[in-house]
Amino acid sequence: MAFIDPISSLGIPLWLIVVISAWETIWTGFAMWRAAKLRHVAWFVVFLVLNLLAIPEIIYLAVTRNKRRK
C-alpha cells in the first residue's frame, strides 16, 4: 500500500498552506485577546472552536474597535 500525500494530491502548494495558517492564527489571536479583555466568553469560545479563514474574527474586531471594558 502506497502512502498518498493529501496536500500534493489536491495540488495546494505548501507555502500557501503556511500563509493561510499564519493569517488565521494572527487574526484569531487578536480576536481572542479582545474577547477575553471585554469578557465576551461566547465569542472567545467561537474563535477557539471555529476556523473560517479569520472572517468572523475580522468582523468582530471591526465591530468592537472602539469598545472599552467597563
31 falls within a domain = yes
Q: Which residue's entry shows cell 495540488?
A: 11
User: For 35-69, what is each residue's pLDDT tens digit?
Assistant: 999 999 999 998 888 878 788 888 999 999 887 76
Give the domain range for residue 50. 12-63
CA gap 21, 17 in Å, rounded: 6
In this structure, is residue 42 part of a structural domain?
yes
Give residue 70's pLDDT band: very low, low, confident or very high (50, 70, 90). Answer: low
Query: Is residue 2 assigned to a domain?
Result: no
User: For the chain, what is the domain count?
Assistant: 1
Whole-number average pLDDT of the chain: 84
The residue type at 41: V
- The answer to whether residue 19 is domain-embedded is yes
Determine the pLDDT at residue 34: 95
Domain membership flag for residue 37: yes
In a domain, 35, yes or no: yes
The answer to whether residue 1 scores a pLDDT higher than 60 is no
- So what's the pLDDT on residue 42? 94
For the chain, what's the residue count? 70
3-state secondary structure 2-63: CCCCHHHHHCCCHHHHHHHHHHHHHHHHHHHHHHHHCCCHHHHHHHHHCCCCCHHHHHHHHH
